C-alpha cells in the first residue's frame, strides 16, 4: 500500500501531476481500482431494495474513479508515446475492456436496474436520472447480458481482441509515420516552398542530425509541401509515402491489412451474437440515426446535390492544370494545383494568410468569442504538464466563480498521435464531498514556433482550434452533475460534433477575424479587402470537399452494414464507393483505409457520417444567430442553456428543438456550403 500512496495516479483532490506519472505507475493504479470496484459491485449486486443513492450513485463512483486514472494514462500514451508507456497502455487496455465486459454482463446488476425502473418511485426521479437508468439497461443489452454462459465468454473474448486491435492499428500508424522522412539535399528541389516551410525543414534536419532539409508525414510538414513544392516527382514520392503508410506497400512490419480484416470480422461476429444482422445495426442503437438506410439515403441525397458543383470544380481544375503542362491530374497534383488556382482566382495564398494569425492573437480572439457568447472569462494559469509546449487555462463565470479548466497542447512532435481531439481529463460530478469541476484535454498538431518567435497558424488550423474548443465547451460548460450524462457523456455520437462544428462558423466573421489578426512583420490587422477574398474563397471546391467526406462516410457505413470481410476485399468496396461519389480518383495503390483511425481506433465505426449529420445541425443552429445577431447574448445564453449545459441528460433532438423551436432541416447546410441552387 505504501507504493500506492506515492503513486501520482491516486491524486484526487487536485489536478494531476503529469510530470511525475511514470509508465510503471499505471498497472498498480488500474489493478487497485478494478479490485476495489469489484468488491463494491459484488455488494451492490446483492441489494434487495436498490435506490438511486444506495445503488446507482455508488456505481457511478466506481466508474468515475477508474476512468479518471485511465484518462490520464491513455492521454499520456497519445501525446508522449514511448515503448514503456505503450506497453503499459496496451496491457491495461485489455484489463479495462475485460472489466467493462464483465460489468455489462452482470445479470444481478441488470436486475437491480430493472427493479428501479419498475418501482413506483421511478416516476419521482428527474428526467435526467430516468435517462441514465434507461441508458444503463441498453448498455446491458449491448454488453450481452442475455447471452448464454458460453456466448458471454465468446463475446468478452471478442471485445478484448478488438481492444488489442485498436491499439495495434494506432501504433502501426504512429510507427510508420515516425519511420519515414523525406531528406532533400539539393536546394533546387525546394522551389515553390515558402521560406518559413524551408526554415522549419532545416530545423527538423538539424534536430535529426541530417544534412539538408527534412520533411515528415506529420500534417504541418506534409500539407504545405504538397501545396507548394514545384517538383512533381517529389510530390508523387511524398504522396506515395503518405498514402501507403501502415500498409503492405510501406514497411510490412506496420501493415494494418490483417488488423482491418480481423477487426471487421470480429465486429460482425459481435453483432451477430447479439442478434443483429450487422455491426451498424448494433452501433445505431445509441445514435440519432436509426438505420443504415437512413444514413446512406442522407449521404447519397447530399452527394446528389454536391455532384454538379464537384464536377464543375474538377473541370475548372483540369483546364487550369494545362497552364502547368499537366494533361492528366494525379492525386499528388490536386493540392498543388488547387492552391495555385485559388491564388489565381482570389489573389492570396494560404501561406500569405498564415502570417496574420499569431498564436497569442488567435487564442485571445477565441476567448473573446466565448466571452461574448456565454459571459465567461478565460485566463492562463500554472499547472503540472507533460511537455513544455502545454499551457493550462481556467474558465470563470461573470461572478469570477471557477467553472472549468483545460490543457492546451497545440504542436506536432515526434511520438505524439496525429490529428486533433478533445478528451475528458476530469468530469463534472457530485460524487465526492466536494463537487468536481470539469477539466478537458485539447490537443492539436500545428506547426511548432521557430526559435524566438511565436507560432503562426493557417486559417484551417484556426478552424481546427475553434472546432476542438467547441467540444471543450460542451464538456466544461455543462450544468449536469450526474456523472453518466455530464458534459459529452451520454450524448448520441452523431450529435456530439454539433458544438464543435458550430464554433467553426465564427472563423468566417469579420469582427472575429479582425480581432485575432496581426501581421508578423507589419503588425497590422488583416485588411478588410483580404478578408473579402477569404470569404469569396470560403466555398472554393466545396463540391469536391463535400464528396470527399461523403466518400469516407459512405465507405464506413457500408463497411459495417452489408459487407462481409470474409467474402470481399475492403479495398474493392472503397473503389465502388469512389465510382459512385468521387470526382477525384486516387491511384489503385492508395491505402487510405490503413490509416483511417477514426473508424478502426477512434470510436467512429459506423459513425463517420456524424460529421455531416452534425454539420447539418450546427449550420441550422448558427442560422438562428445569423437571423438575430451572431453575438446576441440572448441567443448565446439559449444555446448554452439548451445545448451545452444539458450534456447527455436528454436526447440530442430534444435539446436541438428546445434551442431552435423546431426539428433541423438541410437548407442552412446547403447554403453555408455553397451548394444551394
Backbone angles phi, psi at 630, to 5 degrees: -65, -20
Q: What DSSP state is assigned to residue 41?
A: H
Where does 2-104+106-146 sit in CATH, by number? 1.20.1050.40
The share of the chain scoring above pLDDT 90, in percent, equals 96
- Number of H helices and E strands in the chain, helices first, is 27, 7
The pLDDT of residue 513: 95
Classify residue 387 by its DSSP letter: S
Please check the confidence at residue 78 and state whether its pLDDT lies above 60. Answer: yes
What are 619's three cell numbers? 449550420
pLDDT band at 434 (very low <50, low <70, confident <90, very high): confident
Q: What's 215-279 look like in SS3?
A: EECCHHHHHHHHHHCCCHHHHHHHHHHHHCCCCCCCCHHHCCHHHHHHHHHHHHHHHHHCCCCCH
Task: Please name the helix (run of DSSP H) or strand (run of DSSP E) that holds residue 530, with its range, or none.
Answer: helix 528-536
Q: Which three cell numbers stand for residue 177?
A: 509515420
Rounded Cα–Cα distance for residues 597 and 564 (Å): 20
Quick: pLDDT tens for 456-478. 999 999 999 999 999 999 999 99
Instruction: Read off the pLDDT band of 433 (50, 70, 90).
Output: confident
Residue 413 in this model has a pLDDT that exceeds 60: yes
Please report the beta strands in 320-463, taking only residues with DSSP state E, as ranges in sequence order.
Answer: 377-381, 391-396, 402-411, 421-426, 439-446
Residues 32, 24: Cα–Cα separation, whole Å: 14
CA distance 363 to 2: 43
Is the whole model's pTM more than 0.85, yes or no?
A: yes
* 520 carries an active-site annotation: no
Residue 62 clears pLDDT 80, i.e. is over it:
yes
The three cell numbers locating residue 262:
480481423
- Mean pLDDT value of segment 374-397: 98
pLDDT at 76: 98
324 φ/ψ angles, rounded to the nearest 5 degrees: -110, 15
Supply angle C-alpha 292, 293, 298, rounded to 5: 100
Residues 6 or more apart from 200 whose CB is under 8 A from it?
220, 221, 447, 448, 450
E runs forming strands in 164-223: 181-184, 213-216
The reported pLDDT for the residue numbered 3 is 65
The Cα 124–Cα 651 span in angstroms is: 20
What CA–CA distance (Å, rounded) separates 129 from 144? Answer: 23
637 in the Ramachandran plot: left (φ > 0), alpha (ψ -120 to 50) or beta?
alpha
Beta pairing class for 391-396 and 402-411: antiparallel
The full 3-state SS of 280-337, as one line of letters, equals HHHHHHHCCCCCHHHHHHHHHHHHHHHHHHHHHHHHHHHHHHHHHCCCCCCHHHHHHH
**Per-residue cell: 518:** 496581426
SS3 content of the chain, % helix, strand, coil (to 5): 60, 5, 30
* Domains of the chain by residue range: 2-104+106-146, 180-253, 359-538
* Strand pairing class (439-446; 402-411): parallel
- Give me the pLDDT at residue 658, please: 98
DSSP code for 416: S
CB-count burial class (<10 Å; 0-12, 13-18, 19+) for 8: middle
The set of cell numbers assigned to 505 is 462558423
Among the four given CATH numbers 1.10.3720.10, 3.40.50.300, 2.60.120.10, 1.10.1370.40, the one describing domain 359-538 = 1.10.1370.40
- The whole-chain average pLDDT of the chain stands at 96
Under a CB-based contact definition with an 8 Å cutoff, are residues 79 and 386 in contact?
yes
Q: What is the 3-state secondary structure (H, E, C) of 647-664?
A: CCCCCHHHHHHHHHCCCC
Cell of 89: 497502455
- 536-566, pLDDT tens digit by residue? 999 999 999 999 999 999 999 999 998 999 8
Residue 358: helix, strand or coil by DSSP?
strand
Q: What percent of the chain has pLDDT over 70?
A: 99
The separation between the first and the last C-alpha atoms of the chain, rounded to the nearest angstrom, is 69
d(CA 452, CA 291): 54
Task: Find the mean pLDDT for residues 8-19.
Answer: 94
CA angle in degrees (0–180, nearest 5) for 209-178-266: 170
CA 293 → CA 275, 280, 281, 296, 551, distances in Å?
19, 10, 10, 5, 16
| Four-residue CA torsion sign, 584, 585, 590, 594 | positive
The closest alpha carbon to 257, from 266, 270, 244, belongs to 244
pLDDT of residue 160: 97
- pLDDT at res. 676: 86
Class of residue 598 by CB neighbours under 10 A (exposed 0-12, middle 13-18, buried 19+)? middle
381: helix, coil or strand? strand
Sequence-ordered list of residues with C-beta below 8 angstroms from that of 218, at least 6 positions apart, any chain: 177, 412, 418, 445
Which residues on adjacent β-strands are paired with residue 183?
214
Residue 435 has pLDDT above 90, yes or no: no
Can you tell me the mean pLDDT for 193-220?
96
In whole angstroms, give the CA distance from residue 637 to residue 645.
Answer: 10
Strand partners, 392: 381, 407
The catalytically annotated residue of 64, 424, 461, 468 is 468
Average pLDDT over residues 96-120: 97
Domains 2-104+106-146 and 359-538 share a fold: no
What is the per-residue pLDDT across 153-198, written as a single tens digit (0 to 9) for each? 999 999 999 999 999 999 999 999 999 999 999 999 999 999 999 9
Q: Which helix (H) or strand (E) holds 79?
A: helix 57-79
User: Under DSSP, is residue 393 helix (H, G, I), strand (E, B) or coil?
Assistant: strand
With beta carbons less than 8 A apart as the criterion, state whether 292 and 606 touch.
yes
pLDDT tens for each residue of 606-656: 999 999 999 999 999 999 999 989 999 999 999 999 999 999 999 999 999
Give, in order, the Cα–Cα distances in Å from 280 to each of 137, 260, 338. Answer: 20, 16, 36
Q: pLDDT tens digit string along 116-149?
A: 999 999 999 999 999 999 999 999 999 999 999 9
- Beta bridge partners of residue 395, listed in sequence order: 378, 404
Amino acid at each position: 500500500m505504501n507504493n500506492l500512496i506515492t503513486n501520482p495516479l491516486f491524486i484526487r483532490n487536485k489536478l494531476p501531476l503529469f510530470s511525475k506519472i511514470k509508465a510503471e505507475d499505471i498497472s498498480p493504479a488500474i489493478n487497485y481500482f478494478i479490485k476495489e470496484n469489484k468488491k463494491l459491485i459484488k455488494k451492490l449486486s446483492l441489494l434487495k431494495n436498490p435506490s438511486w443513492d444506495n445503488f446507482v450513485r455508488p456505481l457511478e463512483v466506481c466508474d468515475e474513479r477508474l476512468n479518471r486514472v485511465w484518462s490520464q494514462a491513455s492521454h499520456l500514451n497519445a501525446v508522449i508515446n514511448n515503448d514503456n508507456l505503450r506497453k503499459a497502455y496496451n496491457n491495461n487496455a485489455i484489463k479495462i475492456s475485460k472489466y467493462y465486459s464483465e460489468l455489462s454482463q452482470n445479470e444481478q446488476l441488470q436486475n437491480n436496474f430493472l427493479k428501479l425502473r419498475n418501482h413506483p418511485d421511478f416516476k419521482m426521479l428527474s428526467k435526467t436520472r430516468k435517462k441514465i437508468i434507461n441508458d444503463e439497461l441498453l448498455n446491458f443489452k449491448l454488453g450481452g447480458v442475455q447471452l448464454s454462459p458460453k456466448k458471454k465468454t465468446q463475446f468478452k473474448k471478442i471485445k478484448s481482441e478488438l481492444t488489442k486491435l485498436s491499439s495495434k492499428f494506432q501504433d502501426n500508424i504512429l510507427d510508420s509515420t515516425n519511420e519515414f522522412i523525406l531528406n532533400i539535399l539539393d536546394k533546387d528541389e525546394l522551389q515553390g516552398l515558402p521560406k518559413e516551410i524551408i526554415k522549419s525543414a532545416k530545423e527538423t534536419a538539424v534536430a535529426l542530425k541530417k544534412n539538408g532539409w527534412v520533411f515528415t508525414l506529420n500534417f504541418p510538414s506534409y500539407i504545405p509541401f504538397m501545396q507548394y513544392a514545384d517538383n512533381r516527382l517529389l510530390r508523387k514520392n511524398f504522396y506515395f509515402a503518405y498514402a501507403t503508410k501502415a500498409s503492405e506497400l510501406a514497411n510490412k512490419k506496420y501493415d494494418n491489412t490483417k488488423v482491418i480484416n480481423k477487426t471487421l470480422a470480429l465486429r460482425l461476429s459481435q453483432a451477430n451474437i447479439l442478434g443483429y444482422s450487422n455491426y451498424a445495426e448494433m452501433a445505431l442503437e445509441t445514435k440519432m440515426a436509426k438505420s443504415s438506410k437512413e444514413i446512406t439515403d442522407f449521404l447519397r441525397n447530399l452527394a446528389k446535390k454536391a455532384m454538379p458543383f464537384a464536377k464543375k470544380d474538377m473541370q475548372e481544375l483540369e483546364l487550369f492544370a494545362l497552364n502547368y503542362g499537366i494533361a492528366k491530374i494525379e492525386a499528388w497534383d490536386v493540392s498543388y494545383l488547387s492552391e495555385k488556382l485559388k491564388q489565381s482566382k482570389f489573389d492570396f495564398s494560404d501561406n500569405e494568410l498564415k502570417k496574420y494569425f499569431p498564436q497569442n492573437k488567435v487564442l485571445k480572439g477565441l476567448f473573446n468569442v466565448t466571452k461574448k457568447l456565454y459571459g465567461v472569462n478565460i485566463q492562463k494559469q500554472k499547472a503540472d504538464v507533460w511537455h513544455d509546449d502545454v499551457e493550462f487555462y481556467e474558465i470563470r463565470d461573470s461572478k469570477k466563480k471557477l467553472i472549468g479548466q483545460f490543457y492546451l497542447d497545440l504542436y506536432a512532435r515526434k511520438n505524439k498521435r496525429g490529428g486533433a481531439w478533445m478528451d475528458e481529463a476530469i468530469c463534472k460530478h457530485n460524487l465526492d464531498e466536494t463537487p468536481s469541476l470539469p477539466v478537458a484535454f485539447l490537443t492539436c498538431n500545428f506547426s511548432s514556433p521557430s526559435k524566438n518567435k511565436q507560432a503562426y497558424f493557417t486559417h484551417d488550423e484556426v478552424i481546427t482550434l475553434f472546432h476542438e474548443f467547441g467540444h471543450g465547451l460542451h464538456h466544461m460548460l455543462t450544468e449536469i452533475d450526474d456523472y453518466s450524462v455530464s458534459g459529452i457523456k451520454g450524448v448520441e455520437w452523431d450529435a456530439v460534433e454539433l458544438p464543435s462544428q458550430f464554433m467553426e462558423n465564427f472563423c468566417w466573421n469579420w469582427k472575429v477575424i479582425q480581432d485575432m489578426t496581426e501581421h508578423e512583420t507589419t503588425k497590422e490587422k488583416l485588411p478588410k479587402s483580404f478578408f473579402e477574398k477569404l470569404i469569396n474563397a470560403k466555398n472554393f471546391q466545396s463540391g469536391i470537399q463535400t464528396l470527399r467526406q461523403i466518400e469516407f462516410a459512405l465507405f464506413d457505413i457500408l463497411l459495417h452494414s452489408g459487407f462481409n470481410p470474409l467474402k470481399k476485399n475492403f479495398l474493392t468496396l472503397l473503389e465502388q464507393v469512389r465510382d459512385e461519389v468521387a470526382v477525384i480518383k486516387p491511384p489503385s495503390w492508395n491505402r487510405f483505409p490503413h490509416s483511417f483511425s477514426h473508424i478502426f481506433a477512434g470510436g467512429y465505426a459506423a459513425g463517420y457520417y456524424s460529421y455531416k449529420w452534425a454539420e447539418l445541425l450546427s449550420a441550422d443552429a448558427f442560422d438562428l444567430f445569423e437571423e438575430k445577431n451572431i453575438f446576441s447574448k440572448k441567443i448565446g445564453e439559449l444555446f448554452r442553456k439548451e445545448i451545452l449545459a444539458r450534456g447527455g441528460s436528454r436526447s440530442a433532438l430534444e435539446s436541438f428543438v428546445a434551442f431552435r423551436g423546431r426539428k433541423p432541416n438541410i437548407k442552412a447546410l446547403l447554403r453555408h456550403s455553397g451548394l444551394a441552387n
